[in-house]
Structure 1
Amino acid sequence: MKIYVASSWRNEYQPLVVVLLRSLGHKVYDFRNPSEDNKGFSWSEIDPNWKDWTSDEYREALNHPIAEKGFKSDFDAMKWADCCLMVLPCGRSANTEAGWMKGAGKKVFIFQPLKQEPELMYKIYDGIITSGEDLYKQFNTIEPQTDGIDSQPCESCGDECDIQKMEMDADSNWFCPNCWRELSPVMKAEYEELVRRGEIDPED
């Protein structure tokens, strides 16, 4: 299954959820690392002083090329995915994404590992999961979908590989397990360095 994980930059569970879902054979969009050359959208890329914007400045910034690129990456992934998993706690972006995907006829689940303020309208979604064990059970019962393809060449090394063992980024590039393992630490290290330098802010 192709899964869109909606959450917040602040959410410490999001990376663990991505790893778990991928270990179960699903194709997962990770907004923190959408692809090898895309480390996720940040308002600070547009303006380091973005938190001081007026409402008019914010509205104008939505048309900035960096904002347009970030929106396209996430929205394309929302359309690509079969299912959304919203990991709480999260903010406006994730709730907007989950709501759109439910309206588009896709399955949407809530993962709430910590106590949260109750939300009545979450009744529209397909289930609320409250533990890692239940999360595993829910997505371990769903068969990964590969559109009838048995194998695919790796984007990095070119080797043909069993598609059930491969990972796919948001640009539909397939990677064999070895290449993906090599790429993942690099993407994580680059992200942590950007956070350390203040170039990425933990906004929703």
Structure 2
Amino acid sequence: MMFYLYKIIKGLVFPPGIFILIFLLNFFIVKNKVLRILNLLSALVLYLISISPTTDLMKEFLKVKIEVNFQKPDVIFVPGAGLSDESISRIVKAYELYKIYNVPIVISGYKVEAKMMKSKLLMFSIPDSMLILDSLARNTFENVRNFIKTSKIKNFKNIIIVSSDYHFKRIDKIFKNSGLNLKYIPSNQIDWTAKTILDIVPSYASFSRNIRYLNEILGYFLIFQ
């Protein structure tokens, strides 16, 4: 009981919970009707993007189901995620797949990002000849567009794509009509399904995940990021 009480208090005292409380407090204090409505809406929106059930709903939207009809890939494609832990996790997964299939790896990112990813793979003793570097892609759209050009030049047909699980729906939309066979391998697939009462308590971890998911959903509809 004390554990749950501690988690609830922590969720309300630390951001974003404290800001939700401030918006609610302002709702009761201010007299201006418009400001009261704005504070209430702000509290509601911030609360919804700070809880795990919202993550589950967005993750369901971002799911991709693709029928794979090849046994061995021609290449492994790894789009970057900036200078972040996500990029590292994608590189580690690509290395694991390389040990299985022994096929080239295409690394796509922007300048330092792509070079960092390549240097990590070289540290795993993958030959430089097996690494294809695209250091001009500034976003997901350019990652995929540049890779499709490379695939035509290298005659790649069967592709394993390594990225974060929530990233695949946007990638798949950009690949549409490319004529390539795609298999998606998540680098960091995690089950965020709400299981306890604590999942409806706001937390920074849920807020951070939901912001990433919202970015993917916006990118899916705008398609140029």
When normalised by structure 1's length, the TM-score is 0.32
Greater helix content: 2
When normalised by structure 2's length, the TM-score is 0.30
